[in-house]
């Protein structure tokens, strides 16, 4: 069996070390029983390891940038879903038209930063001082470019360039999302659909949880928005209630 778990708010809790520790200990029990684990997150590889270095010894796969990058447990690229090159200039031109010009942050399988990239860009973030702009901007980006856009209105970063920015919109290519990334591992023959368990807490987890009959974390944004989904209290509960 393999658990695909969102990172922030599902597996990792920035302000609750005890809850995070319990998840890590549960994961060790899960792995000791011969099972696998994959972090599936909007973060990039460096960001995940910076927040939780010990995860490097526990992950069999990483699905990053909201499903647009898939790595093996050693951090080697298995597949990615980059934007069509013409989309990036269009996103930049759109950003210039906004009343508050956002700071743009770019991702490729091997890069995270502020330098614009034209090739192999897998995700772009629009960072705002006024987080109330995020929802309308995300909606408009999807309408204009057909690309999924996810809102994080209560975000923060340690980077000095993002000081005072309190929310962001994450944009990925039209053919990528967390569910599609899991399916790519099926197509590569790495996993079997019958072995998959998915769990998440945010709206960007909705497709993978629905497509793979997984779990929303109880009391999360996802469980509130889609009440028909199955819920679970934590990773610990999945591990302890799954007899595998």
Are residues 10 and 77 both part of a single domain?
Answer: yes
Are residues 61 and 128 both part of a single domain?
Answer: no
Final residue belonging to a domain, choices 150, 172, 194: 172
Within 84-202, residue ranges assigned H as helices are 87-96, 134-145, 178-187
What's the structural domain count of the chain?
Answer: 2
Are residues 23 and 75 both part of a single domain?
Answer: yes
| Entry field: residues in the chain | 244
Are residues 149 and 215 both part of a single domain?
Answer: no
pLDDT of residue 244: 54
pLDDT of residue 10: 96
pLDDT of residue 243: 63
pLDDT of residue 242: 76
pLDDT < 50: residue spans in the chain = none
Q: 3-state class of 193 per DSSP?
A: helix
pLDDT of residue 212: 95
- Helix axes 134-145 and 87-96, enclosed angle (nearest 10): 140
CATH of the domain at 57: 3.40.50.1000
pLDDT of residue 118: 81
Are residues 200 and 132 both part of a single domain?
Answer: no
Are residues 66 and 133 both part of a single domain?
Answer: no
CA neighbor of 38 nearest in space, from 18, 67, 14 = 67
8 A C-beta contact, residue 126 and residue 97: no
Are residues 73 and 180 both part of a single domain?
Answer: yes
Q: Which domain range does residue 144 map to? A: 87-172
pLDDT of residue 241: 87
């Amino acid at each position: 069996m393999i658990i695909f778990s969102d990172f922030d708010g599902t597996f990792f809790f920035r302000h609750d070390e005890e809850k995070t520790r319990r998840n890590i200990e549960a994961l060790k029990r899960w792995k000791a029983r011969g099972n696998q684990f994959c972090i599936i997150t909007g973060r990039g590889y460096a960001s995940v390891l910076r927040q939780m270095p010990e995860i490097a010894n526990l992950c069999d796969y990483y699905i990053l940038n909201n499903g647009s990058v898939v790595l093996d447990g050693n951090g080697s690229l298995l597949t990615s879903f980059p934007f069509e090159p013409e989309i990036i200039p269009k996103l930049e031109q759109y950003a210039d038209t906004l009343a508050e010009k956002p700071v743009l942050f770019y991702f490729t399988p091997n890069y995270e930063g502020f330098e614009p990239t034209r090739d192999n860009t897998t995700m772009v973030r629009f960072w705002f001082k006024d987080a109330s702009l995020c929802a309308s901007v995300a909606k408009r980006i999807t309408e204009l470019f057909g690309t999924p856009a996810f809102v994080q209105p209560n975000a923060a970063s340690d980077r000095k360039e993002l000081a005072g920015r309190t929310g962001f919109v994450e944009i990925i290519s039209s053919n990528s999302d967390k569910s599609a990334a899991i399916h790519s591992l099926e197509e590569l023959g790495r996993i079997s659909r019958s072995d998959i368990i998915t769990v998440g807490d945010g709206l960007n987890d909705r497709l993978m949880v629905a497509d793979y009959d997984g779990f929303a974390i109880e009391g999360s944004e996802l469980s509130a928005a889609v009440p028909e989904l199955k819920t679970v209290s934590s990773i610990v509960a999945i591990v302890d209630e799954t007899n595998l």
